[in-house]
Amino acid sequence: MGSRLHVREIQSGPPLPYADDIRAFCKEYAELLDAQDPLRRFRDDFIIPSKKDLKRKTLFPNDGCVCVHVAETEETSDEECIYLCGNSLGLQPRSTRKYIEYYLRTWATKGVTGHFVPHDDQLLPPFVDVDEAGAKLMAPVVGALKSEVAVVGTLTTNLHLLMASFYRPTQERYKIIIEGKAFPSDHYAVESQIIHHNLDPKDAMVLIEPEDLDRPILDTEYILRVIDENAHSTALIVLSAIQFYTGQYFDIQRITAYAQSKGILVGWDCAHAAGNVDLRLHDWNVDFAAWCTYKYLNAGPGGMAALFVHERHGRVDLELAGSGTEPFRPRFSGWWGGDKETRFLMNNHFVPQQGAAGFQLSNPSVLDMNAVVASLELFSQTSMAEIRKKSLNLTGYLEHLLLCDPQTESSEKRPFSIITPTNPAERGAQLSIRLQPGLLDSVLESLDEDAVIIDERKPDVIRVAPAPLYNTYVDVWRFAQIFHRACDKALRARE
């Protein structure tokens, strides 16, 4: 995976060097890539933490001018840090403050009437309709119909709500298949659902473990074999669209179709995929999915999550009542999922809204929804296809700088390996870098000294994820220089 990929993607401007050209490792090369990046304008829409901010022990300088410095947070001339951690927490859009200020003003000046009264200068509709605004903007990000998406709750809560509807074990089909190394919250959710149905996870929970512990990747053929081995007894499969540790992007379309051909429902945790790769949840016939919004979707820590229910599962047909066929899919219900025409009648007769909206429980946090919409408005100004195109180039460039550096091109000299798949189609933005034993703490210390923000997974992995909307090729180039120096320093200290 070399620089040829980037050269082919550039449509205009001066020719750039090929993979075997040493100029690929010069800062000027990265600057040329940035100059020709069609998404470069979006960086200015985000607040990049400065080195000074990261080192300061207080939120504001100790000069008593808090109000002044609140404004300065968005307009600083201090040198910016290198932030490659969008897979953990995305950066704050500049517009987030404006959206939240408008919300606070509406609440302050309109009180309860803010639920229903529109305003000429509003950024979002009245409180009672904000969920629709979120769904409309979220749907194209994940390749769904608007009716198939709801911005609601939190990720694990949504997984529980969806499994309450889609996991209906029988004596014959009762198993759930999940990655052995799934994110712990997913593991806990699946395990507790099984226990909730008075089943034993030892019998009903199938863990797909890597065949080779030194290569923690789950090949598609291997996943399909596990499905075959458990097909007659499996009710549900819950997998990550992108694996949080390795960064592997699973073949959602193929796995979903294969499992469904065996009579198995399939749900996907898209936490690391939404806003990262070009999903097609509707076209791929996915049964259900859930994701958070604080990673690549930049809605802030613990931000409101979202869920997807394919239109065939979200239909409501009351004419079927009494016919022996369920008029709508059973689910845990709450008043905000009820039909909007009868929601405020308070008659205790639940009729769900059509689609994913019918899976909502309580009214959404309007404060949180403003943060979600502020970011999604930026996504609406481009497309996931364009974002993915830049991401392939950006992460490919990072990989090239790490693996093809003239000083450490030989793997024997290199004190690290990349455990993320080398095939760009099998990964998102993230590269997971495994360091030699004993190097992690020293490398992290060096990165911290240079204000490089990535994240770690003990005992020896760092995850680096360039986010296409705000990261640049120069960010990637600077990281590579600092990382190589950090590795050299750690090796010398170990000797």
Q: Please report, for the domain that includes residue 468, its CATH number.
A: 3.90.1150.10
Which of 356, 375, 394 marks a domain boundary? Answer: 375
Q: Are 242 and 211 in contact (CB under 8 A)?
A: no
- Nearest 5°: the CA angle 404, 407, 412 is 80
In a domain, 195, yes or no: yes
Task: Mark whether 363 and 430 lie in a shared domain.
Answer: no
In a domain, 98, yes or no: no
Task: Mark whether 321 and 468 lie in a shared domain.
Answer: no
Helix axes 440-449, 473-494, angle to 10 degrees: 130
Determine if residue 222 is labeled as part of a ligand binding site.
no
Determine if residue 196 is labeled as part of a ligand binding site.
no
Determine if residue 185 is labeled as part of a ligand binding site.
yes
Task: Mark whether 439 and 371 lie in a shared domain.
Answer: no
Which of 309, 343, 375 marks a domain boundary? Answer: 375
Q: What parts of the chain have a pLDDT lower than 50?
A: 1-16, 18, 68
Task: Mark whether 343 and 397 lie in a shared domain.
Answer: no
Task: Mark whether 167 and 245 lie in a shared domain.
Answer: yes
Task: Mark whether 323 and 346 lie in a shared domain.
Answer: yes
Q: How many domains does the chain have?
A: 2
Q: Are 162 and 267 in contact (CB under 8 A)?
A: yes
Task: Mark whether 390 and 425 lie in a shared domain.
Answer: yes
Cα–Cα dist 491/493, whole Å: 5
Q: What is the DSSP letter of 426?
A: G
Determine if residue 363 is labeled as part of a ligand binding site.
yes
Determine if residue 269 is labeled as part of a ligand binding site.
yes
Task: Mark whether 264 and 341 lie in a shared domain.
Answer: yes
Determine if residue 155 is labeled as part of a ligand binding site.
yes
Determine if residue 107 is labeled as part of a ligand binding site.
no
Task: Mark whether 209 and 295 lie in a shared domain.
Answer: yes
Full residue range of the structural domain in which residue 437 is found: 4-80+384-494
In a domain, 333, yes or no: yes
pLDDT of residue 12: 40
Determine if residue 398 is labeled as part of a ligand binding site.
no
Determine if residue 335 is labeled as part of a ligand binding site.
yes
In a domain, 113, yes or no: no
In a domain, 204, yes or no: yes
In a domain, 103, yes or no: no
pLDDT of residue 15: 45
pLDDT of residue 76: 56
Ordered alpha helix ranges (H), 380-459: 384-403, 440-449
Determine if residue 450 is labeled as part of a ligand binding site.
no
Per-residue pLDDT tens for 53-100? 999 888 887 765 555 455 555 555 689 999 999 999 999 999 999 999
Determine if residue 240 is labeled as part of a ligand binding site.
yes
CATH of residue 313's domain is 3.40.640.10
pLDDT of residue 346: 87
Which of 344, 375, 406 marks a domain boundary? Answer: 375
Task: Mark whether 402 and 365 lie in a shared domain.
Answer: no
Task: Mark whether 402 and 346 lie in a shared domain.
Answer: no
Exposure string over 26-36, b if 16+ CB within 10 A, otherwise e: eeebbebbbeb
Determine if residue 416 is labeled as part of a ligand binding site.
no
Sign of CA dihedral 247, 245, 82, 441: negative
